[in-house]
Homo-oligomer: A and B are copies of this chain.
Amino acid sequence: MMPDIETFWRDLNLIRTINPLVLNITNYVVTNNTANALLAISASPIMSFAKDEVEELVGLSAALVINVGTLNAGDIEVMAAAWAAANAKGIPVVFDPVGAGASRLRTDTSLSMLGKYSPSVIRGNASEIMTLAGEAGQSKGVDSSQSAGSAAGIAQALALVNSCVVCVSGEEDMVTDGNEGYRVCGGHEIMPRITGLGCTASAICAAFAAVNKNCLEATVHGMIAMAIAGALAAKKSDGPGSFQMHLYDALYSLTETDVERFMEIYPL
């Protein structure tokens, strides 16, 4: 069944009621943005970089985000410990392979963790997803050189191999579990010009996965929230600085009317 206004609105209201705790082992560039986006949508974020506490924090959390945007040896251990604990506890894990393809460290660490632990959702840009699927992704640093559309078949294959949902974000977002899939449209072309909006999307998907066991639906809902909030923010913005500010405001005050006006989703 295709996610729709009703399923989206139900899950958003669940987040707003339950305020699920989302644990983030993420990069140093986006800690603040990620926390603010999660708070804006009414989730409760916690960040950790300590191996000594992540198992315990996983035990309190409803979802986990693993983001490799500024890897170092210590953080890799923290990620592994958190991911293992999340798998053991059965809480959803959203994996964001920031910069996979840009360095062997990022590619190898991502592949190695995917070999050992199970993601619920992998969300990346086309270059990153192609890299994880073993294709030369031609990434340019952390920015994609590929369109999301060009990665469709590869995303489906990657989803099947990892028994998870794969989301390729771009001008249009593509979400698939390998069998069923959707395109989410909306947002705005300025979004790649604000750092960490991909990371933000991953965290928002985790908030939805925290309240919906159907990870395909949850991920679609997360990308819809970003697309609608992005479209609303763009209308009020004069550039990337004001866009970032309005995006938090839009995530915070998203109404059913906004969803009716701006939600755009198609079968793949």
Contacts and interface: CB of A to CB of B under 8 A. Distances in A.
Interface of A: 19, 21, 23, 27-33, 35-36, 39-40, 42, 44-50, 52-53, 56-57, 60-61, 69-74, 99, 102-106, 140-143, 192-196, 237-242, 244-253
Given A39-B193, A74-B72, A240-B249, A30 B28 contact: no
Given A60-B141, A70-B50, A141-B44, A249 B253 contact: no
Contact of A141 (B45, B102, B237, B253): B45
Copy number of this protein in the oligomer?
A: 3
A36 B142 contact: no
13 contacts: A29-B31, A31-B70, A36-B241, A40-B239, A45-B195, A46-B102, A50-B70, A53-B103, A57-B102, A193-B252, A238-B253, A241-B248, A241-B249
For the complex of A and B, the 7 pairs showing the least CB-CB separation, nearest first, are: A239-B249, A241-B248, A53-B103, A35-B195, A46-B141, A241-B245, A53-B105
